[in-house]
């Protein structure tokens, strides 16, 4: 049996008529750059995420870069932005391209997300960073949100912007009673924005142990000053090419992102700043609009697949299945296990030989990448991230995965 890591053909077959109709409407309109299809999708995403603004851009990478620039990153000579070393390169690359220097903080070993204790310790002990740091980019890795209560508290204390890298987490939710939501003008001084629990399509019932009416749930991209999404084809909500989105409740930030994506102009041929050509294509917006109504159902199927894996792999020696915090709603962009005792690479070879799709996200921490040698990190500086890079491997978990395929994958792992 061959089990792919992801099979987009199965998804397309299930909604072919909707996709084809959406594409044809754009072709008939001949309106390919921004325009009505993009505006419609922006409104849908803003409503889905529970924010005032959603701005379509050319990619998830650009979303991070433009959001950072919109809060003033790159205007200072020594700007620094704190982020996770255990994520896709685009996170740190966008920080550099926005004109700042990335500063890496180690991750939690269970969720792989940025460790707020390590974050607080870094800022407490590094006095120059207290002045030079301008923002934090927490990454909601694999589809589970980072510890946003603690991160927002640190951001409040040190007057830092928070730009959520939600590229892998559209629809993920975080339950909190703290009210740490950056929904007003930058810096934090506004009122709470729309809650995910206000949305009739909210999947609050999917929280593992959600109890108590005093807590509310917020979707990824609605807690920080801005949220950044990718619509790369392999994402849970994927287009048929590149695409991205910035979400925010901040009117001024939203206006700056709109200008930055269009060469720094509000009115054509009149440029108020030097911006970029980073516009979401209408064809991509149309495809994504057709897919969005199915997203929660697809996410639920991913959770069901994850549960089946958890049950079947629970007793397999050396395997650690994903940890989900009680106040989170994981969307399983990736179902990622840890393989201990140096056996990860051997397991990957077994999976490959038996036709099981898999991927290592990520084989090398960002602070160890050659392009970041100038930052001066050494091996052992961020040990949790470095160890994770040696142990993680992701298994097929896409919505259309069949039970017999899960059984086969687990059988290969167990033998």
β-bridge mates for residue 262, sequence order = 277
Average pLDDT over residues 82-88: 98
Predicted pLDDT of residue 200: 44
Q: Are residues 289 and 307 in the same domain?
A: no
Among 112, 6, 119, residue whose Cα is nearest residue 390: 112
As a dihedral over the C-alpha atoms of residue 169, residue 384, residue 391, residue 393, rounded to 10 degrees, the angle is 10
pLDDT at position 181: 62
Contact 236, 298 (CB under 8 A): yes
Cα–Cα distance list, 379 to 101, 123, 148, 226 (Å): 19, 21, 28, 32
Domain membership of residue 69 (yes or no) is yes
Q: In sequence order, which residues have a C-beta less than 8 Å from that of residue 409 and are 6 or more positions away?
A: 3, 309, 351, 356, 395, 396
pLDDT at 268: 86
CA separation, residue 170 to residues 32, 71, 160, 175 (Å): 25, 22, 23, 15
Contact between 260 and 278 (Cβ < 8 Å): yes
Residues 85 and 18 in one domain: yes
Mean pLDDT value of segment 63-89: 95
Cis peptide before 187 (omega within 30 of 0): yes
Q: Which of 275, 293, 311 is the last residue of a domain?
A: 293
Name the nearest CA neighbour of 38 among 203, 231, 235. 231
Q: Of 13-22, 71-80, 109-118, 206-215, where does mean pLDDT reach its minimum?
A: 206-215
Q: Are 346 and 288 in the same domain?
A: no
Task: Tell me how many domains the chain contains.
Answer: 2
25 in a domain, yes or no? Answer: yes
pLDDT, the chain, mean: 92
Residue 236 resides in a domain: yes
Q: Are residues 110 and 255 in the same domain?
A: yes
Residues β-bridged to residue 395: 335
Q: Is the dihedral of CA 273, 258, 184, 243 positive or negative?
A: negative
Does residue 269 share a domain with residue 184?
yes
CA atoms of 296 and 89, how far apart (whole Å): 27
202 band by pLDDT with thresholds 50, 70 and 90: very low
**What does the pLDDT look like over 16-26, one tens digit per residue?**
999 999 999 99
The whole-number pLDDT of residue 182 equals 60
Q: For residue 185, is pLDDT > 90?
A: no
pLDDT computed for residue 180 by the predictor: 59
- pLDDT by residue (tens digit) across 319-328? 999 999 999 9
Residue 204 maps to a domain: yes
Is residue 3 a part of any domain in this protein? no
Would you say residue 397 has pLDDT above 60?
A: yes
Shared domain check, 269 and 319: no
DSSP letters for 233-273: TTSSS--SS--EEEEES-HHHHHHHHHHTBTTEEETTEESS
Q: Do 345 and 253 sit in the same domain of this protein?
A: no
Q: Please report, for residues 49, 186, 270, 309, the alpha-carbon distance to residue 165 in angstroms, rounded to integers and kept in the order given.
A: 14, 18, 31, 27
| Cβ 138 vs Cβ 111: under 8 Å | no
Tell me what percent of the residues of the chain surpass a pLDDT of 70. 91
Is position 324 within any domain? Answer: yes
Last residue of a domain, one of 242, 276, 293: 293
- Shared domain for 379 and 403, answered yes or no, is yes
Same domain as 289, residue 299:
no
Does residue 1 belong to any structural domain of this protein? no
Confidence of residue 215 (pLDDT cuts 50, 70, 90): confident
Distance CA 391, CA 115 (A): 18
Give pLDDT, residue 152. 96
Are 332 and 287 in the same domain? no
How much is the pTM?
Answer: 0.92
CA–CA distance, 229 with 295 (Å, rounded to integer): 14
Residue 214: pLDDT band with limits 50, 70, 90: low
pLDDT at 213 over 90: no
CATH number at residue 206: 3.40.640.10
Alpha-carbon span 68 to 70, nearest angstrom: 5
| Domain residue limits at 165 | 8-293
For residues 334 and 292, give the distance between their C-alpha atoms in angstroms, rounded to a whole number.
Answer: 19
Residues facing 337 on adjacent strands: 393
Q: What percent of the chain has pLDDT over 90?
A: 86
> Which tens digits make up the pLDDT trace of 113-165?
999 999 999 999 999 999 999 999 999 999 999 999 999 999 999 999 999 99
Examine the domain organization and report whether 231 and 305 are in the same domain: no
Locate tokens 């922006």: which residue?
Answer: 42
Q: Could you tell me which residue, 200 or 382, shows the higher pLDDT?
A: 382
For residue 345, pLDDT beyond 50: yes
Query: Would the pLDDT of 198 be above 90?
Result: no
Say if residue 89 is in the same domain as residue 122: yes
- Please count the CA atoms within 13 angstroms of the CA of 253 that sit on its side-chain side: 34
Q: Is 14 buried (19+), middle (13-18) or exposed (0-12) by CB count in 10 A?
A: middle
Last residue of a domain, one of 245, 268, 293: 293
User: Does residue 212 have a pLDDT over 50?
Assistant: no
Quote the distance between the C-alpha of residue 396 and its chain's center.
19
- The tokens describing 164, both together, are 């959520």
Which is nearest to 309 in space by CA: 397, 206, 415, 209?
A: 397
- Residue 319: inside a domain, yes or no? yes
Instruction: Quickly state the pLDDT bin for 187 (edges 50, 70, 90).
Output: very low
pLDDT tens digits along 370-393 = 999 999 999 999 999 999 999 999
Residue 76 is predicted with a pLDDT of 83
Residue 408: give its domain's CATH number. 3.90.1150.10
């Amino acid at each position: 049996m061959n089990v792919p890591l992801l099979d987009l053909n199965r998804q397309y077959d299930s909604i072919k008529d909707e996709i084809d109709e959406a594409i044809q409407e754009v072709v008939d309109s001949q309106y390919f750059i921004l325009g009505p299809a993009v505006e419609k999708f922006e409104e849908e995403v803003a409503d889905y995420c529970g924010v005032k603004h959603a701005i379509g851009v050319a990619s998830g990478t650009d979303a991070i870069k433009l959001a950072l620039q919109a809060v003033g990153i790159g205007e200072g000579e020594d700007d620094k932005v704190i982020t996770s070393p255990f994520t896709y390169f685009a996170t740190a690359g966008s920080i550099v391209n926005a004109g700042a220097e990335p500063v890496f903080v180690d991750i939690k070993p269970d969720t792989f997300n940025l460790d707020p204790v390590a974050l607080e310790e870094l800022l407490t002990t590094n006095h120059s960073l207290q002045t030079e740091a301008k923002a934090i980019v927490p990454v909601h890795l694999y589809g589970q949100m980072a510890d946003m209560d603690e991160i927002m508290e640190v951001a409040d204390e040190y007057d830092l912007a928070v730009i959520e890298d939600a590229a892998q987490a559209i629809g993920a939710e975080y339950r909190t009673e703290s009210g740490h939501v950056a929904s007003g003008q930058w810096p934090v001084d506004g009122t709470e924005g729309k809650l995910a629990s206000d949305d009739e399509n909210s999947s609050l019932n999917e929280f593992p142990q959600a109890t108590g009416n005093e807590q509310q749930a917020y979707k990824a991209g609605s807690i920080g000053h801005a949220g950044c999404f990718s619509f790369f084809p392999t994402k849970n909500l994927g287009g048929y090419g590149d695409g991205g989105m910035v979400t925010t409740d901040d009117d001024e930030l939203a206006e700056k992102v709109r200008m930055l994506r269009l060469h720094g102009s509000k009115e054509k041929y009149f440029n108020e700043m030097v911006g970029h050509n980073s516009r979401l294509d209408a064809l991509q917006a149309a495809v994504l609009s057709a897919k969005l109504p199915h997203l929660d159902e697809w996410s639920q199927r991913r959770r069901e697949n994850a549960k089946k894996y958890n049950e079947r792999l629970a007793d397999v020696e050396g395997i650690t299945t994903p940890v989900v915090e009680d106040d989170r709603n994981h969307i399983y962009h990736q179902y990622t296990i840890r393989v201990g005792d140096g056996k990860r690479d051997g397991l990957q070879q077994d999976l490959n030989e038996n036709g099981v799709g898999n991927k290592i996200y990520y084989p090398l921490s960002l602070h160890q990448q050659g392009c970041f040698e100038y930052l001066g990190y050494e091996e052992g500086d961020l040990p949790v991230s470095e160890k994770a890079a040696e142990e993680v491997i992701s298994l097929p978990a896409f919505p259309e995965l069949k039970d017999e395929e899960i059984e086969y994958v687990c059988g290969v792992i167990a033998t």
